[in-house]
Structure 1
Amino acid sequence: MIKVDNLSFSFSQKELYKNISFTLEEAQHCAFIGTSGNGKSTLIDILMDPERYLFEGKLEVDPTCKIGHVSQFPQQDKTKETTVFEYIAEEFIKIQNEITSICTEMETSSDIDSLLEKYQLALDAFDSIGGDDFESKINKKLNLANLMKLKDVRVSDLSGGEFKLIQVMKEMLSSPDLMIMDEPDVFLDFENLNALRNLINSHKGILLVVTHNRYLLNHCFNKIIHLENKEIQEFDGRYIDYNFSLLQTKIELQEIAVAEQEEIERYDNIIDNLRAIATVNADASRGRALKARVKFQERLEARRIKAPFVDMKQPNIRFDMDHEMEDTVVVNVNNYRVAFDELLLDHVNFEIKSTDKVAIIGSNGTGKTTLLRDIYKNNQDSIEINADVKVAYLSQIQGEMLKDSNTILEEFIDAGFKTYDEIRSYISGYGFEGEIVNQKIESLSGGEKNTLQLAKVAASKANVLLLDEPTSHLDTYSQIALEKAIEDYKGAILMISHDFYSVVNGMDYVLIIDDKTIRKMSMRKFRQMIYASHFNKNYLEAEQNKKAVEMKIELALKNTDFESAKVLVDELEELIKLL
């Protein structure tokens, strides 16, 4: 349906793609992955409206291809009184009303021929979107997503996550040949994420989905397109198989690199010896031998394999503190209550100690963000912050903590740095290098903005971190780097997250919202609850075993024990089959 051939494109003095090629064909559910700021959203814009862009190369789109699109930030009109059913059925109802209007006009008009032509066109349009039983189709989608309860709810009353799902349904029901979705999973709670998984897996057309969500990546796609460093890599298969393929390649490349390094060191010794002899004996033949050896060494260096898709550069996220605290209570919430149009939370009581790492878990729209923001502001009687605590806050509303009109450099002027050189050195560890540091924050991708927020939180050296959806928009490499930073941090963390992996890999326990209040739940019970609802009983054990084997492989590679790594890879392959 779509073929991209040797496409190159530069934007804002930045080269995004260089001779990239890929295809999208029938029955492919394709995950579009890559680090933040590499141009995934721009490439989607080019696919949807190529006339707007001056690119080199070829872009062939089947002229009959109908494209549906769910944007990264869908706009929700809070003023409309439309119900969820009416919103999803909007196109069907519009054509249905047009058909009814034409029929009414036929009863009194003498120009029957032109009306018959309009009538037939309307019928064809209705048929092309499967309008005959649209009510039944909408009900099936709502049931599939477990959202039938929202059918008669006003769209203006939906949470952001619910609206995202409703928009996905609406686009799918318009029967596109190609459905493009840009991070449809952002901010979805686990129930809604599972609903999105069901919608994706039931869709019959071609899908191209930008996502960094590891749950969706592991359960929804049969093709991977990876954009990195201006290049594209296609992989036919599951994401879990793609990662396994990358691991095999990584072992092979590291083994070659070690062998090459040993050979280079051997030639270094020979060259040093030849140079020593040449200083004593000015024999021309020895000089030629030295020159030949140097050239051979240069060729060895030149053919080192560069693999931009194998060993990705992660941001250097590290949460340090000005001073550690003894085992004491740092946040105390006592009888907290919040209500807007309706009561969200009541009788909320909990305390966080100085080394606790805690996740707040609850459905979209249950008051989690309001609670975290109130703790950060610390202006309520029901919230008490220890006087020795320094708090840092990461907001899911990025404009709350970042000023769009600032450049990246300007954003860090008040963050304790003395010079621009200090700022440049610091933020280079987060991937912001070169001219990008002078870009306005408004021009950055969602992932880049969240990475910038993490950099600001880390620079604060706070001993209590309040993190609201810190993994949102982050690529998988940055998510893993964040998990490592959380694991190494010695202070307290209170984190809202719908990313299952970040919670189970980094938190000590969870505070779960249940019946408008909060109760404490152990990580073991939380795991059991999630797995009982969404996985078969053997999945948890298989996944834990997989992670254990991956860690053994990583250790073997550190020790350059390639034979052990290869044996472990065979073991890993068998575990992947179970998943």
Structure 2
Amino acid sequence: MITLRDITLRRGVKVVLDAASVTLQPGEKIGLVGRNGAGKSSLFALLANRLHADSGDVDMPPRWRMAEVAQNMPETDDGATDFVLQGDIPLMEAQAALAKAEAADDGHAIAEAHHAISDAGGFDARARAQAMLLGLGFKIDQLDAPVNSFSGGWRMRLQLARALMCPADLMLMDEPTNHLDLDALVWLEAWLQRYEGTLIVISHDREFLDAITRVTLHLDDAKLTRYGGNYTAFEEMRAERMSLQQASYAKQQEKIAHLQKFIDRFKAKASKAKQAQSRVKALARMEKLAPVLTASDFSFEFREPQSLPNPMLAMQDVVCGYKTDAGDKIIVRDVNRSVLAGQRIGILGANGQGKSTLVKTVARMQPSLGGTVTEGKGLAIGYFAQQEMDVLRPNDTPLNHMIRLARDAGPPGREQDLRNFLGQFRFEGDMVNQQVGTLSGGEKARLVLAMLVWQRPNLLLMDEPTNHLDLDTREALSMALNEFEGTVMLVSHDRALLREVCDEFWLVTQGGVTPFDGDLDDYQRWLLDTAKEQAKAVRETAVVEKQAAASSGNRKEDRKAAALARQQKAEEVKPLRKELNKVDNRLGVLFAERDQIEELFAQNTLSPEALADKGKRLKVVTDEIEVLEGRWLELSTKIDEMS
């Protein structure tokens, strides 16, 4: 188990943990929650031994293998599957041992290495790695593509798959869902539910935490508090605890006021001085309970649209895609849908099917390749891009963005009005003049939200708006969207947001757009069934390839097998050859002795007694030679047969 005892951890002048203690049992799945900047990632660094506590003890099983999703962007020309396989440390160690043994032509070491590869699941490892990649949204033709050919978000998925490939006792996952679509998220959820090790995960996705975790660790005010239950249970228990704390605080304030009133009244009177002094001491000893802030410190609302055209827009035979040097690349075709005032549409679909392409086409970010999009009179579109930098300029400031927006798109506003407006989205003081490129992901997302709200749109197109938002801001966004009077089209992997906002769904699949007849639970089952079918297809393909390789004769494997067989046979023949050499040497000695005795007999110079002794010795030597010659013949025949 993992035990933290009285841990104090500082990052610069900030105290991240202050005499914090907690115990985590093997096999537990723990959600680590807390406000942005509370120190969750620092706690991960402490557990991974990248940081060391200023005081206190961290106890972890010494033999535990740990896996963690690397946050750096991989730079390599290795194929995607090979890159993921490298995450399986035991398999990599076994394969390295095999290469070393083959270079040394060490038969025993070669056999041991093959056993180690088998124990590590090496014979189906490639199929398992590819099933992971398909589950995370990669296409079959991308499985062996170079890592460097993928964009940043896809490379982070490769890092995730590489971490999952490691047979770890402890897995640390920091925002693993940030770069995932809903289909990949559902697959990851199912995988982690089967994971048997200890898992600690940081996430702002409440449904993901509810589905995976059974323990919640709350980092707040440099303290760790353990709650038994998932995130929803944690919220309920914490609300109850805060209610009790608030009551205790109010009660204590009454007591403090009573003591202070007594002190103020009687401290100057000699007859009451001792009593007043004792109450001063009691007041000093009394533990101060901090007031509890139960409400979120961030909220906003979309302003009332200036008009609500109905329908908002109508698409007839619309073709969505991209223009390339080689011609048009069509992603979605024959879209015939209308968007009405007040609709709340969730756009579903497996990764790569064209959800973002459809939204960009509606948002006028890219032209349609065919068909007609008819917009209602007074249509005002607000577009939240999946990549915030698509609509932000890194060298400009939040205030620059708002001034340009008010001037070019409207409605107009004075600089002070724009500063006050940005303050509603936590851009206060000098932050309005900070370059956007230096802002965090959450701050960029809030700036895009601010720009949307200012424009007073009547159609909101939101493509993964929650990627960098904490739970408080997600709650604020959900409430604002529910109160919005216009129309919403939403692409998101945040199921809580989809459930709370959307009342109908479109499914983008197989190059088309159709209504989805079901709810999110139905969609999740459909995604899991699809993922199982893909994994089954990969396994079947691997079996066929293996059988084909076996039938055609894999030369390299045949050479390895032949070399191993020769080495094993040589090891078996070695003791026989050793015995044969001994027999040869003994026969040489016996032949020499026999020749010597026969020579003495020929000279006829021995006395009768000596002659009798030599005759007896000759009989012994002759009998031994006969036995040894029989053994020599047996050994030679066996060696010839084995060779």
- What TM-score comes out, normalization by structure 1 length? 0.70
| Letter of the 1:9 counterpart | R
Which residues of 2 match residues 537-548 of structure 1 at below 5 A? Answer: none
For residues 506-550 of structure 1, the C-alpha deviation after alignment (integer angstroms, 9 at most, x for no partner) is: 12322221331112346xx32462476599xxxxxxxxxxxxxxx
- Corresponding residue to 2:300 among 317, 338, 345: 317
Moved more, 428-437 or 64-73: 428-437
Q: Structure 1 residue 182: deviation in Å? A: 1.6
| Letter of the 1:333 counterpart | M
Q: Distance in 2 between matches of 1:9 and 1:411?
A: 36
- Corresponding residue to 1:454 among 432, 449, 456: 449
- Corresponding residue to 2:123 among 130, 135, 144: 135
Q: Structure 1 residue 419: deviation in Å? A: 4.2
2:394·2:436 contact (CA, 8 Å) conserved in 1?
yes
For residues 375-415 of structure 1, the C-alpha deviation after alignment (integer angstroms, 9 at most, x for no partner) is: 22356364344452332221221222334445555554545
Structure 1, unpaired ranges of 5+: 536-579
2:86 counterpart residue number: 90
1:550 counterpart residue number: none
2:191 counterpart residue number: 199
Aligned residues: 501
SS in 2 for 1:245: helix
| Letter of the 1:90 counterpart | Q
Q: Distance in 1 between matches of 2:228 and 2:335?
A: 49
2:66·2:170 contact (CA, 8 Å) conserved in 1?
yes
1:246 counterpart residue number: 238
Distance 1:379 1:144, change over 3 A: closer
Which residues of 2 match residues 173-252 of structure 1 at below 5 A? Answer: 173-252=165-244
- Corresponding residue to 1:501 among 496, 507, 512: 496
Distance 1:32 1:135, change over 3 A: farther
2:367 counterpart residue number: 380
Q: Structure 1 residue 457: deviation in Å? A: 2.1
Q: Structure 1 residue 198: deviation in Å? A: 2.0
Distance 1:146 1:259, change over 3 A: same
2:135·2:188 contact (CA, 8 Å) conserved in 1?
no
| Letter of the 2:338 counterpart | E
SS in 2 for 1:344: strand
| Letter of the 1:318 counterpart | E
Which residues of 2 match residues 466-505 of structure 1 at below 5 A? Answer: 466-505=461-500
Which residues of 2 match residues 411-422 of structure 1 at below 5 A? Answer: 412-416=402-406, 418-419=414-415
Which residues of 2 match residues 274-285 of structure 1 at below 5 A? Answer: none
Q: Structure 1 residue 347: deviation in Å? A: 0.6
Identity level (%): 20
Q: Structure 1 residue 486: deviation in Å? A: 0.5
SS in 2 for 1:7: strand
2:349·2:355 contact (CA, 8 Å) conserved in 1?
yes
SS in 1 for 2:8: strand
Moved more, 339-348 or 134-143: 134-143
Q: CA RMSD in A?
A: 4.7
Q: Distance in 1 between matches of 2:435 and 2:21?
A: 31
Asked whether 1:526 is paired with 2:519, we answer yes
2:143 counterpart residue number: 154
Asked whether 1:69 is paired with 2:89, we answer no
Q: Distance in 1 between matches of 2:415 and 2:98?
A: 70
2:8·2:53 contact (CA, 8 Å) conserved in 1?
no
1:345 counterpart residue number: 332
Distance 1:105 1:154, change over 3 A: same
Distance 1:25 1:169, change over 3 A: farther
1:30 counterpart residue number: 30
Q: Distance in 2 between matches of 1:379 and 1:146?
A: 28
- Corresponding residue to 2:512 among 517, 521, 530: 517
SS in 2 for 1:196: helix
1:324·1:491 contact (CA, 8 Å) conserved in 2?
no
1:548 counterpart residue number: none
| Higher-Rg member (1/2) | 2
1:87·1:155 contact (CA, 8 Å) conserved in 2?
no
SS in 2 for 1:68: strand
2:388 counterpart residue number: 398
Structure 2, unpaired ranges of 5+: 323-327, 407-412, 529-643
Q: Distance in 2 between matches of 1:410 and 1:14?
A: 32
2:218·2:224 contact (CA, 8 Å) conserved in 1?
yes
Q: Structure 1 residue 18: deviation in Å? A: 4.5
1:40 counterpart residue number: 40
Q: Distance in 2 between matches of 1:76 and 1:228?
A: 37
Q: Distance in 2 between matches of 1:145 and 1:456?
A: 36
For residues 196-253 of structure 1, the C-alpha deviation after alignment (integer angstroms, 9 at most, x for no partner) is: 1122122222212111222221121122222234443222433332222113224434
